[in-house]
Structure 1
């Protein structure tokens, strides 16, 4: 018997890739921008490091909270839709058969085959068939609030640690150029890696993330320098 061929598509990893890249990117940009802004205001080395650590904790918690609330709302909506679908299956089984058949006809099956497919899938798992093909809900795509919150907080923290390590190790006189330069390198690597794994153009990913990262750090440093002269 020939070995079963299993195709692997990039779309299978888009969800976790997007969350990881966004979290790490936010961690690098926000933390590097924060420490650069404080450094530009002529703060001490210790104050800059404390501000960076506080930014890491606050940012990670903000990411976790926002992601949890957002994904939990999605999960609540999914559960409400499934509850409604379950009730419809109990009260109007024939109507749900017709609805699923119409979906498959719309996807290109001839009516007789569409009806046969609908009957067999509903006999196997009626709610699962309607959840997947009518509502777009599947086991692999269903909302997981706690997992999403932990992933967002973790990826943000990993990204934020990178500029913080540079702050901890760099001499105070060279802190601004070293944090700026290494953070842009981190961002370029992250953007290139995400583009490569996702099958997009690597240079486009690198240029996009480094441009916006440099803009964020430059603006924050400018604000810090301005406030430093006023204070």
Structure 2
């Protein structure tokens, strides 16, 4: 017995509109890179292990709150903009239904449908005001008005995954280590692992995703370590 075609199987596509994956990925990567670079900078300046833990913890808390609030505001604002455009389209459908039906038919003709068929379908859609609204919004705005991302899901994902990412380079210090290189190495492993995990969602080779994130984080850490060394020497730290 052969497998059913993908189009006939339920949920054969990943959920790309739930609003959690992008902020989770962004939060984890930002938490890792931010705290790795922050630890490298203050560590390069020659501060004590206690100061590094204090700095990294402050960076974790401040960054997580900032990321959560930023994601909530961003997604909420985008949803409100979509809602405003949907309301505008609803008014146009109520005031000029014939013109809107012609506009929809013209869009389908431009995609290759015969004029007669496009007109018939547009007229059929027009008979159901709510379905007409959904179709027009999808065609004209490129969004589904019934499937918008949740600002709370985005904020929570961003907050939690930033915190998790920022915690990783702090772990050696929290367990009693005092060597900067060990914290950076653990952070580098975290970057590689995070990149590899994300690659599984995007169907990319795991090693390329991991290596890309490792190189980006290393560049940030190298820059801040150099700055910390220069300022630490000049400031007599």
Shorter-chain TM-score category? 0.7 to 0.9
**1:6 is matched with which residue?**
10
Provide the aligned length of Structure 1 versus Structure 2.
Answer: 228
1:154 is matched with which residue: 157, 160, 167? 160
Normalised by the length of structure 1, the TM-score is 0.88
For 1:1-32, what per-residue CA distance to the aligned partner results, in whole angstroms no more than 9, with x for missing partners? Answer: x9742362357379643322221011011012
**1:182 is matched with which residue?**
186
**2:89 is matched with which residue?**
85
Over 3 Å counting, the alpha-carbon distance change for 1:71 and 1:15 in structure 2 is closer
**Bigger proportion of residues as helix:** 1
1:115 is matched with which residue: 108, 113, 119? 119
Q: Residues of 2 paired with 1:22 and 1:211: CA distance?
A: 16
Structure 2 alignment gaps of length 5 or more: none
**1:129 is matched with which residue?**
135
Q: Residues of 1 paired with 2:223 and 2:18: CA distance?
A: 31
Q: Residues of 1 paired with 2:114 and 2:214: CA distance?
A: 50
Secondary structure of the residue aligned to 2:16 is: helix
Q: Residues of 1 paired with 2:101 and 2:211: CA distance?
A: 51
1:171 is matched with which residue: 167, 177, 181? 177
For 1:170-222, what per-residue CA distance to the aligned partner results, in whole angstroms no more than 9, with x for missing partners? Answer: 421x2x11111111111111111212220123332222111110011111122
Q: Residues of 2 paired with 1:181 and 1:42: CA distance?
A: 18
Q: Residues of 2 paired with 1:198 and 1:14: CA distance?
A: 16
Task: Note the C-alpha offset of 1:145.
Answer: 2.8
- Structure 2 residue 30 is matched with structure 1 residue 26: yes
Structure 1 alignment gaps of length 5 or more: none
CA-atom RMSD, angstroms? 2.3
**2:74 is matched with which residue?**
70
Normalised by the length of structure 2, the TM-score is 0.86
For 1:125-180, what per-residue CA distance to the aligned partner results, in whole angstroms no more than 9, with x for missing partners? Answer: 121111122211215652433332222222211211211222211421x2x11111
Q: Residues of 1 paired with 2:14 and 2:116: CA distance?
A: 34
1:36 is matched with which residue: 29, 40, 64? 40
